[in-house]
Amino acid sequence: MSFLFGGRSSKTFKPKKNIPEGSHQYELLKHAEATLGSGNLRMAVTLPEGEDLNEWVAVNTVDFFNQINMLYGTITDFCTEESCPLMSAGPKYEYHWADGTNIKKPIKCSAPKYIDYLMTWVQDQLDDETLFPSKIGVPFPKNFMSVAKTILKRLFRVYAHIYHQHFDSVIQLQEEAHLNTSFKHFIFFVQEFNLIDRRELAPLQELIEKLTSKDR
């Protein structure tokens, strides 16, 4: 469980992705949690000295998947076919789903359906040992960074949907501090390694500027 949600409801949208205890990636996750605990998010996202960038991105991508999984899990009762017939992030942004394999042509679908497709797709990538090797000495594939960028770009859309369409529910559930801390951590991470194109971040640009301006 991510440190952000210690002792909270463990309802997740999809099963949590575990990093095997005792592995080097598990040690990296513990390092990330320890530095996050210090409260300095800018420092927490920097690549630890002597570590492999791919491995650092992999560990953090798994952690963001778990965080978003829990955040979305708290508001699934409010995100329904009726309340969210489209996957949107405010009036200007609408997302259509395609994964390039099962669904090649982008389809218009409700937000819960889109997020189900998205999280299942991410889970399949994280479970693929050829993409996300968990064993020491197994190299990351050459296309790893482009896969990680696609995962993070898509996970951002879940944050964007929650903020634009369900923030009232988040406040009602008293989860806004968790959502803001998680999103701020996510944004600092993708900014540090330039992992998401600025245009993709447009739906939450004002919020991003507000959350990051104090830490420049």
What DSSP state is assigned to residue 2? Answer: -
Nearest one of 113, 185, 196 to 154, comparing CA atoms: 196
Name the CA dihedral angle for 117, 120, 126, 128, rounded to a multiple of 10 degrees: -100
84 labelled ligand-binding: yes
Interatomic CA distance for residues 65 and 189, integer angstroms: 13
120 contacts: CB under 8 Å, gap ≥ 6: 14
96 labelled ligand-binding: no
166 labelled ligand-binding: yes
- Please count the other Cβ atoms lying within 10 Å of the Cβ belonging to residue 133: 18
* Cβ atoms of residues 13 and 122 within 8 Å: no
164 labelled ligand-binding: no
Interatomic CA distance for residues 160 and 165, integer angstroms: 8
Q: Which residues are annotated as a binding site?
A: 79, 84, 161, 166
Q: Which residues are annotated as a binding site for Zn(2+)?
A: 79, 84, 161, 166
